[in-house]
């Protein structure tokens, strides 16, 4: 499947990895629906021109994501919604026990899981329903879904119980979803980024960024959002990539 002339839904598209992916797809001649909770998604879509449309929405809400999927279907002609790159997500840090030994807040834990894991399932199920109705491409392919996990799914650090669990859930869904959707010609992949230079990471102090950069075997720096977008492009265009999670991390293994 090519980017050119096809329609893609990108969640979390107002910022960071999602915004970079939208730019890359439009530059390659594709059409995109940029979906995000943040109102800045509208100005970002406007900058990308006629090939981009903004839809404000929360990935945990059925009606919001149904509207985003329908907008992308209508951009896509007979092949409908060709691909989803699901980047919306939140990071959270909370220890199981605080300094006084009090237990962590249960609602905060559930909120992270709701956005990162349940939100991923919500987008995946609604996108798959739309894609299953597409006229297939020549090789029988109807669509591709790319979810965003994290290296925290594998090397979770102290304070990351909620974030790691939510991303491990994204990893765990990849294979069963790919197996199930194969009969419709829909592929499912996940990217597990290491540490990328995005607004999500902007609260990290400079010395911590330097230490993180130094801990990457090569290259010794944070990832650039377009490097994520380049992998997403490769996954869209390479039909043998299916049911797998790809670490994109310069070889980092979190301590």
Ligand X SMILES: NC(=O)c1ccc[n+]([C@@H]2O[C@H](COP(=O)([O-])OP(=O)(O)OC[C@H]3O[C@@H](n4cnc5c(N)ncnc54)[C@H](O)[C@@H]3O)[C@@H](O)[C@H]2O)c1
The residues annotated as belonging to the active site are: 163
CB under 6 A: which stretch of 71-79, 130-138, 192-200, 233-241 binds ligand X? 192-200
One residue of 28, 51, 91, 104 binding ligand X per CB under 6 A: 91
Q: Does 201 bind ligand X (CB under 6 A)?
A: yes
One residue of 24, 164, 196, 232 binding ligand X per CB under 6 A: 196
With respect to ligand X, which residue has the nearer C-beta, 25 or 195?
Answer: 195
Q: Does 229 bind ligand X (CB under 6 A)?
A: no
One residue of 58, 155, 226, 244 binding ligand X per CB under 6 A: 58
SS3 track for 90-143: CCCCCCCECCCCCECCHHHHHHHHHHHHHHHHHHHHHHHHHHCCCCCCCCCCCE
Q: Judging by beta carbons within 10 Å of its beta carbon (0-12, 13-18, 19+), is residue 138 exposed, middle or buried?
A: exposed
Q: Output the smallest distance, CB 245 to ligand X, in A.
A: 12
What value does the CA radius of gyration of the chain take, rounded to a whole number of Å? 18
Residue the block writes with tokens 């995946």: 124
What binding mask, one character per residue, do residues 118-137 give for ligand X by CB under 6 A, x or -?
Answer: -x------------------
- φ/ψ of residue 25, rounded to 5: -65, -45
Q: Does 43 bind ligand X (CB under 6 A)?
A: no
CA distance 216 to 249: 8
One residue of 173, 195, 216, 229 binding ligand X per CB under 6 A: 195
**Chain-centre distance of CA 105, in angstroms?**
26
One residue of 89, 143, 185, 250 binding ligand X per CB under 6 A: 89
- Spell out the alpha helix ranges (H) of 114-248: 119-131, 161-181, 206-214, 225-237
**Strand, coil or helix: what is 243?**
coil
Residues near ligand X (CB under 6 A): 11-12, 14-18, 36-38, 58-60, 87-91, 115, 119, 148, 150, 193, 195-196, 198-201
């Amino acid at each position: 499947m090519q980017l050119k002339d096809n329609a893609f839904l990108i969640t979390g598209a107002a910022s960071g990895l999602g915004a970079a992916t939208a730019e890359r797809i439009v530059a390659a001649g594709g059409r995109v629906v940029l979906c995000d909770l943040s109102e800045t998604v509208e100005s970002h879509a406007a900058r990308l021109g006629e090939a981009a449309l903004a839809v404000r929405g929360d990935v945990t809400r059925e009606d919001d994501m149904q509207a985003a999927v329908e907008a992308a279907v209508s951009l896509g002609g007979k092949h409908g919604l060709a691909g989803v790159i699901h980047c919306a997500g939140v990071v959270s840090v909370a220890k199981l026990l605080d300094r006084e030994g009090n237990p962590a807040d249960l609602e905060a834990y559930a909120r992270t899981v709701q956005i990162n894991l349940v939100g991923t399932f919500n987008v995946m199920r609604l996108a798959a329903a739309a894609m299953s109705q597409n006229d297939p491409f020549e090789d029988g392919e109807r669509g591709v879904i790319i979810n965003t996990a994290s290296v925290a799914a594998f090397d979770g650090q102290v304070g990351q119980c909620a974030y790691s669990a939510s991303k491990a859930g994204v990893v765990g869904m990849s294979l069963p979803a790919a197996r199930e959707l194969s009969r419709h010609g829909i592929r499912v992949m996940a990217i597990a980024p290491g540490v990328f230079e995005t607004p999500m990471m902007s609260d990290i102090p400079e010395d911590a960024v330097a230490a993180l950069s130094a801990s990457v075997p090569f290259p010794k720096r944070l990832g650039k959002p377009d490097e994520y977008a380049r992998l997403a492009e490769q996954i869209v265009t390479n039909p043998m990539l299916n049911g797998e999670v790809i670490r994109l991390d310069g070889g980092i293994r979190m301590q």
